[in-house]
């Protein structure tokens, strides 16, 4: 029997690790998916068949499934040896996700390994390790926001663009003013009456940055201003919403090319 280890859950997304005990030998099996799921293959290899299509799934690939998808899994050797980091879109029905059934129509059940997928898997693991729900939601959003092989999004109509622009402006203003608050992308989306995944896509498209990176820049900008006014590095770190001094220092140095301590000294001098 497969082993499932829960890692993180929000009203919108569940994250868990799926693997097989060493002593267990699975048999090939067929199943029907009941949810929208994306599984990053971390270790092992297995064969996947959906209808007439077949894939050899290896580390770095991502298996996609949608409600009603019938699939067959088989293995090479003594038994299944794969380990997957899996995301389930719990709020798909409430959000009205994929009304055109594009996931099913695409005919793709596997995304081949790429640097982009590698980054998302890395980011998700990093977010879980550091307790960063906004970053975790961003990584989930990027996987679920569109099925593979879709054409680039068309331009919004004038009316739809105006609607989106007002809401994105509202959130940007909130992040710029209340940068020290603890929030998630889900909180921001609900505040403007949008679903998590739709909001994240629109925000990124209009601002050029995903919400978590926009918030990080807002915090660093405020931190630089505080240091210029004579605040200490520690005081600035916690006053601008960071909860880890090392993380604050690294982020500040990447943004401004020098650690916050040197910035503080230069302004003090």
pLDDT digits (tens, 9 = 90+) for 78-110: 677 889 999 999 998 888 888 888 888 888 899
Report the pLDDT averaged over residues 116-135. 86
Which range is least confidently modeled, 11-15, 138-142, 211-215?
A: 138-142
Contact status, residue 83 vs residue 122, Cβ threshold 8 Å: no
Q: Which region among 51-65, 225-239, 253-267 has the lowest average model confidence (pLDDT)?
A: 253-267
Domain count, the chain: 2
Q: Assess whether pLDDT exceeds 90 at residue 59.
A: yes
Q: Identify the band that residue 226 occupies on the pLDDT scale cut at 50, 70 and 90.
A: very high
E strands present in the chain: 3-9, 13-19, 29-32, 37-43, 46-50, 53-57, 62-65, 70-74, 83-89, 110-111
Q: Which residues contact 158 (CB under 8 A, 6 or more apart)?
A: none
8 A C-beta contact, residue 35 and residue 92: yes
Same structural domain, 171 and 58: no
pLDDT on residue 25: 61
Q: Do residues 94 and 198 share a domain?
A: no
Q: Do 192 and 260 belong to one domain?
A: yes
User: Do 99 and 38 fall into the same domain?
Assistant: yes
**CA separation for the pair 245, 264 (Å, rounded):** 15
Query: Residues 101, 122: one domain?
Result: yes
Chain segment 188-209, per-residue pLDDT in tens:
999 999 999 999 989 988 888 8
Q: Which of 124, 144, 164 is the last residue in one of the domains?
A: 144
- Evaluate if residue 243 carries a pLDDT over 60: yes
Q: What is the CATH number of the domain that holds 243?
A: 1.10.10.60
End position of a domain, from candidates 144, 177, 211: 144
Reported confidence tier of residue 137, pLDDT bands at 50, 70, 90: confident
Determine the pLDDT at residue 50. Answer: 95
Q: Collect all residues with Cβ–Cβ distance below 8 Å to 181 and sequence separation of at least 6.
A: 241
Q: Which domain holds residue 61?
A: 3-144
pTM of the model: 0.73
Same domain for 132 and 165?
no
| CA angle at 151 for the pair 150 and 156, rounded to the nearest 5° | 115
Q: What span, in angstroms and rounded, lies between the C-alpha atoms of 195 and 90? A: 12
| Judgement on whether residues 164 and 255 belong to the same structural domain of the protein | yes
Q: Kindly state whether residues 136 and 161 are assigned to the same domain.
A: no
Distances (CA, A) of 178 to 41, 172, 217, 262: 38, 10, 13, 26
Q: Which residues contact 141 (CB under 8 A, 6 or more apart)?
A: 185, 196, 197, 200, 201, 210
Does 151 have pLDDT greater than 60? Answer: no
Instruction: Read off the pLDDT of residues 12-44 as tens digits, 9 standing for 90 and up.
Output: 999 999 987 766 666 778 999 999 999 999 998
Write the DSSP symbol of residue 230. Answer: T
Residue 161 is encoded by which pair of tokens? 């663009």
Ramachandran quadrant class, 68 (left: phi over 0; alpha: psi -120 to 50; beta: rest): left
Q: Are residues 13 and 134 in the same domain?
A: yes
Same domain, 222 and 260: yes
Domain identity same for 183 and 54 = no
- 265 in a structural domain: yes
Q: Could you give the angle at which helices 245-256 and 260-268 cross, rounded to 10 degrees?
A: 70
Domain endpoint, select from 144, 170, 202: 144
Q: What is the CATH number of the domain that holds 75?
A: 2.60.120.10
Q: What is the mean pLDDT of the chain?
A: 87
3-state class (DSSP) for residue 118? helix
Share of the chain above pLDDT 70, in %: 91
Asked if the structure places residue 168 within a domain, the reply is yes
Q: In the predicted model, is pLDDT for residue 62 greater than 60?
A: yes
Tell me whether residue 150 is in a domain. Answer: no
Q: What is the pLDDT of residue 150?
A: 47
Indicate whether 238 and 167 sit together in one domain. Answer: yes
């Amino acid at each position: 029997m497969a082993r499932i280890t829960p890692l993180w859950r929000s009203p919108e997304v569940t994250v868990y690790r799926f693997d097989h005990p060493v002593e267990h030998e699975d048999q090939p099996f067929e199943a029907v998916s009941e949810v929208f799921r994306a599984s990053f293959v971390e270790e092992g290899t297995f064969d996947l068949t959906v209808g007439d299509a077949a894939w050899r799934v290896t580390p770095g690939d991502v298996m996609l499934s949608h409600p009603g998808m019938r699939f067959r899994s088989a293995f090479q050797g003594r038994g299944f040896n794969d380990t997957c980091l899996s995301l389930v879109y719990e709020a798909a029905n409430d959000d009205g996700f994929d009304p055109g059934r594009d996931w099913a129509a695409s005919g793709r059940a596997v995304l081949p390994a790429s640097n982009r997928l590698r980054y998302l898997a890395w980011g998700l693991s990093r977010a879980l390790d550091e307790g960063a729900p906004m970053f975790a939601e961003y990584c989930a959003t990027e996987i679920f926001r569109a099925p593979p092989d879709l054409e680039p999004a068309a331009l919004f109509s004038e009316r739809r663009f105006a609607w989106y622009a007002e809401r994105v402006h509202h959130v940007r203003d909130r992040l710029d003013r209340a940068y020290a608050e603890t929030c998630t992308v889900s909180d921001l989306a609900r505040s403007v009456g949008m679903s998590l995944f739709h909001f994240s896509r629109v925000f990124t498209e209009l601002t050029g940055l995903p919400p978590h990176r926009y918030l990080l820049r807002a915090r660093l900008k405020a931190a630089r201003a505080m240091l210029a006014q004579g605040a200490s590095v520690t005081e600035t770190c916690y006053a601008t919403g960071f909860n880890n001094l090392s993380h604050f220092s690294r982020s500040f140095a990447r943004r401004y090319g020098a650690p916050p301590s040197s910035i503080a000294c230069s302004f003090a001098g």
